[in-house]
């Protein structure tokens, strides 16, 4: 799939000497949902701000659908919609006025049908004549998304789109983001909610201390780095492990009523069959068993803590 | 050229005036009317005519200029500062609109509001004093030129300011005193020679006198000098705005 955004050697240094980005290379494919994960201060917002034209890069190049964001800034910016992290709205404007203003700002002709569709999709139609200051935080977040969608962008940046919104609204937004992707919009989202990336993303990038640590298909990432745990619920409590089970590095849990075996899904042999055989030989019986895949959060934490 | 974006910002800014009608239009008209009551009727009746012009009529250009300068600066500085303050500036910076286009839109809206205000004050003045405009073209030219120039100045202040105090600092503590000391209410020929000489360093003297000449045909300084000075200030403001475009000063990190 062709890249719609190409970032090459992107560097940002501030006057204070702080280097927010250190030669970032990244390609975003057209039509995908790309989740950019990283701890606070990792450089996520700086990178988005550079691509959107808000911050000037110190070095490097960014192409948006082949348009250089510096030399062909007008063409590049026309393609991009941005929903920033902060709730920044014109408090005294009505929803309709502020969304229509955004469309005009991006040079698009008046299209009331499109604005209506966007507002309806975001459940804002009933609030179209309300002043933004009267809306709840969640509604304001929707207004910001509506503003970004008002000019029909082909690339949409969502910087922490569901920060501070309730679970129901978050689910609604996930649905909206999927629908947008289905219409061909490329979506790049940053999030602190690993669950969000796990739920939504086609690919995941991890950024830490201004460097891209990893970019991977989500499924592949889970497969490559995922660990699984097998939990056996024992028929009788176990005080200590017999020496024959020592090679499995089992953990005794739940007051001796559970045995936990951690194994690598990538390994040629997981060792489960042999473990079950050895348990039977040792006279340890179990009532039930379950497996658990390690979450993206586990993977993320291991990535950002492993690299100093 | 992104005409739609320019129009969107211009309309947005003009709509803001509509929402703050009391502050934008009614308040300056009332304060101007009070000036006429105090200086025109109460005190002015005891002051001799200046160059054959009654004192009430004499102060009209200065009063319009006072409102024009302060409101041009306030309108333009607030127009660009407010998005910075509330954070909506991100949208302007990420939109396919150049700094030049944004400046045309913000400054155009601020200047339009000031010209409308100037016309309203002129109409208000006509209710209090007999008015005649000897050079209507030059009156309109000075009105528009000054509104644009000081809206540009206000735009620069709005970009520079990082707090409401700074936003108020220049119009309140620099422009208003310069306007009062710039011959708005008197002819500088009434001053002792030393202060006449000092007054010539006050740029507002040239703006007020150019404008006054268009009303009454007489002024303390020549029309050509006034016009050159106005254009000079405009050129300085344009140069500063151009430098901001080039560097992204206070707008882009």
Q: Are B189 and B220 in contact (CB under 8 A)?
A: yes
Helices in A183-225 by DSSP H: which ranges?
Answer: 194-200, 218-225
Residue A148 has pLDDT above 60, yes or no: yes
The distance of A151 to chain B (nearest Cα, Å) reads: 10
Distance CA A7, CA B127 (A): 65
Is position A302 within any domain?
no
CATH code, domain with A266: 3.30.70
Contact yes or no for A105 and B90 at CB 8 A? no
Task: Select from A201, A223, A245 the last residue of a domain.
Answer: A223
The distance of B202 to chain A (nearest Cα, Å) reads: 38
Task: Select from A223, A252, A276 the last residue of a domain.
Answer: A223
Contacts of B15 in chain A (CB under 8 A): 97
Residue A266 has pLDDT above 70, yes or no: no
Same domain, A198 and A270: no
Show the CA angle centred on residue B98, arms to residues B8 and A12, nearest 5°. Answer: 125
Same domain, A124 and A253: no
% of chain A surpassing 90 pLDDT: 44
Contact yes or no for B248 and A52 at CB 8 A? no
Same domain, A66 and A213: yes
Q: What is the mean pLDDT of residues B173-191?
A: 85
Closest CA to B216 of B102, B55, B14, B75: B55
**How many domains is chain A partitioned into structurally?**
2
Distance CA A75, CA A53 (A): 12
Distances (CA, A) of A194 to A39, A64, A197, A247, B250: 11, 27, 5, 33, 35
Same domain, A198 and A279: no
Closest CA to B94 of A45, A96, A119: A45
Alpha carbon A149 to chain centroid distance? 19
Distance CA A11, CA A23 (A): 5
Same domain, A155 and A70: yes
Contact yes or no for A77 and B5 at CB 8 A? no
Same domain, A93 and A181: yes
DSSP state of A302: H
Q: Which residues are CB-contacts of A203 (< 8 A; sequence separation ≥ 6)?
A: A29, A32, A33, A34, A35, A215, A216, A217, A218
Backbone angles phi, psi at A115, to 5 degrees: -60, -40
* End-to-end Cα, chain A, rounded Å: 33
Range of the structural domain that residue A39 is part of: 3-223
3-state class of A209 per DSSP?
coil
Is position A306 within any domain?
no
Q: What is the mean pLDDT of residues A66-76?
A: 93
The distance of A163 to chain B (nearest Cα, Å) reads: 17
Handedness of CA A77, A81, A86, A92 (dihedral sign): positive
Q: Where are the domains of chain B?
A: 3-247
Residue B17 has pLDDT above 90, yes or no: no
B91 touches chain A (CB under 8 A): yes
Q: Which stretch of DSSP H or E encloses residue A19?
A: strand A19-29
Residue A290 has pLDDT above 80, yes or no: yes
Contact yes or no for B4 and A107 at CB 8 A? yes
Indicate which of A18, A91, A104 best probes the interface with B, i.e. most B CBs within 10 Å of its own CB.
A104
The distance of B169 to chain A (nearest Cα, Å) reads: 25
DSSP state of A77: H
Contact yes or no for A90 and B88 at CB 8 A? yes
Residue A286 has pLDDT above 80, yes or no: yes
Residue A307 has pLDDT above 60, yes or no: no
What pLDDT, on a 0 to 100 scale, did the predictor assign at position A297? Answer: 67
Is position A250 within any domain?
yes
What pLDDT, on a 0 to 100 scale, did the predictor assign at position A25? Answer: 94
What would the pLDDT profile of B29-44 be if each residue is shown by its tens digit?
Answer: 888 888 888 877 777 7
Same domain, A131 and A263: no
Contacts of A109 in chain B (CB under 8 A): 4
Q: Nearest residue on chain B to A70, judged by CA atoms?
A: B96
Residue A50 has pLDDT above 60, yes or no: yes
Q: What is the mean pLDDT of residues B74-102?
A: 89
Q: What is the CA radius of gyration of chain B?
A: 19
What would the pLDDT profile of A272-282 be if each residue is shown by its tens digit?
Answer: 888 999 999 88
Q: Nearest residue on chain A to B90, judged by CA atoms?
A: A54
Task: Select from A223, A243, A263 the last residue of a domain.
Answer: A223
Higher pLDDT, residue A194 or A251: A251
Contacts of B3 in chain A (CB under 8 A): 107
Q: Which residues are CB-contacts of A247 (< 8 A; sequence separation ≥ 6)?
A: none
User: Is ipTM strictly over 0.90?
Assistant: no
Mean pLDDT of chain A: 87
CATH code, domain with A132: 3.40.50.300
Estimate the crossing angle of helix B203-216 against helix B55-86, to 10 degrees.
130
What would the pLDDT profile of A162-207 be if each residue is shown by its tens digit?
Answer: 776 777 778 888 888 888 889 889 999 988 777 778 888 999 998 8
Same domain, A112 and A243: no
Q: Which residues are CB-contacts of A251 (< 8 A; sequence separation ≥ 6)?
A: A259, A260, A262
Same domain, A270 and A183: no
Same domain, A10 and A59: yes
Residue B211 has pLDDT above 80, yes or no: yes
Distance CA B66, CA B180 (A): 8
Indicate which of B88, B93, B97 best probes the interface with A, i.e. most A CBs within 10 Å of its own CB.
B88
Distances (CA, A) of B102 to A215, B9, B99, B187, B245: 38, 8, 5, 39, 10
Contact yes or no for A107 and B92 at CB 8 A? no
What pLDDT, on a 0 to 100 scale, did the predictor assign at position B252? Answer: 66
% of chain A surpassing 70 pLDDT: 92
Is position A304 within any domain?
no
Q: Are B62 and B68 in contact (CB under 8 A)?
A: no
Residue B27 has pLDDT above 90, yes or no: no
Token pair for A93:
């404007």
Distance CA A211, CA A93 (A): 40
Contacts of B90 in chain A (CB under 8 A): 52, 54, 82, 84, 88
Contact yes or no for A54 and B86 at CB 8 A? no
Bridge partners, residue A100, by sequence: none
Same domain, A53 and A115: yes
Same domain, A104 and A150: yes
């Amino acid at each position: 799939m062709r890249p719609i955004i190409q970032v090459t050697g992107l560097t940002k240094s501030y006057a204070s000497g702080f280097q927010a980005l250190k030669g970032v290379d990244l390609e975003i494919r057209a039509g995908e949902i790309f989740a950019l994960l990283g701890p606070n201060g990792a450089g996520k917002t700086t990178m988005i701000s550079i691509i959107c034209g808000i911050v000037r890069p110190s070095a490097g190049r960014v192409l948006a659908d082949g348009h250089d964001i510096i030399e062909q800034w007008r063409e590049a910016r026309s393609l991009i919609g941005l929903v920033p992290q902060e709730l920044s709205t014109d408090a005294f404007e009505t929803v309709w006025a502020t969304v229509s203003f955004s469309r005009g700002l991006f040079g698009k002709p008046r299209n009331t049908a499109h604005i209506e569709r966007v507002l309806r999709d975001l459940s804002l139609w009933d609030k179209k004549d309300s002043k933004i200051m009267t809306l709840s935080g969640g509604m304001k977040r929707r207004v910001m998304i509506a503003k970004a969608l008002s000019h029909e962008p082909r690339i949409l940046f969502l910087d922490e789109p569901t920060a501070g919104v309730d679970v129901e609204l978050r689910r609604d937004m996930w649905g909206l983001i999927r629908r947008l992707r289905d219409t061909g919009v490329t979506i790049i989202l940053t999030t602190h909610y690993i669950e969000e990336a796990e739920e939504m993303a086609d690919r995941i990038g991890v950024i830490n201390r201004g460097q891209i640590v990893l970019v991977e298909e989500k499924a592949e990432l889970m497969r490559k780095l995922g660990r699984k745990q097998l939990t056996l619920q024992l028929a009788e409590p176990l005080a200590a492990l017999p020496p024959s089970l020592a090679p499995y590095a089992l953990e005794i849990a739940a007051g001796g009523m559970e045995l936990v075996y951690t194994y690598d899904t990538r390994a040629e042999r997981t060792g489960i069959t042999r473990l079950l055989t050895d348990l039977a030989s040792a006279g340890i019986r179990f009532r039930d068993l379950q497996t658990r895949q390690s979450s993206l959060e586990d993977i993320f934490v291991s990535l950002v803590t492993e690299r100093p | 050229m992104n005409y739609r974006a320019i129009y969107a910002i211009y309309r947005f800014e003009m709509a803001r005036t509509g929402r703050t009608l009391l502050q934008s239009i009614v308040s300056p008209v009332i304060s101007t009317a009070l000036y006429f009551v105090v200086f025109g009727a109460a005190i002015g009746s005891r002051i001799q005519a200046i160059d054959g012009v009654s004192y009430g009529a004499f102060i009209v250009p200065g009063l319009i200029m006072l409102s024009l300068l302060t409101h041009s600066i306030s309108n333009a500085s607030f127009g660009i500062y407010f998005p910075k303050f509330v954070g909506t500036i991100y949208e302007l910076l990420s939109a396919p609109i150049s700094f030049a286009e944004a400046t045309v839109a913000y400054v155009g809206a601020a200047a339009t509001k000031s010209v409308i205000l100037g016309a309203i004050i002129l109409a208000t003045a006509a209710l209090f004093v007999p008015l005649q405009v000897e050079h209507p073209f030059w009156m309109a030219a000075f009105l528009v030129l000054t509104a644009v120039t000081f809206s540009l100045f206000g735009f620069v202040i709005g970009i520079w300011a990082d707090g409401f105090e700074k936003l108020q600092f220049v119009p309140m503590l620099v422009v208003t005193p310069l306007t009062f000391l710039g011959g708005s209410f008197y002819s500088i020929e009434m001053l002792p020679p030393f202060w006449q000489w000092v007054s010539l360093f006050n740029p507002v003297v040239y703006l007020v006198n150019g404008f006054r000449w268009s009303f009454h045909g007489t002024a303390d300084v020549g029309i050509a000098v006034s016009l050159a000075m106005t254009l000079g200030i405009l050129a300085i403001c344009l140069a500063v705005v151009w430098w901001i475009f080039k560097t992204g000063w206070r707008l882009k990190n």
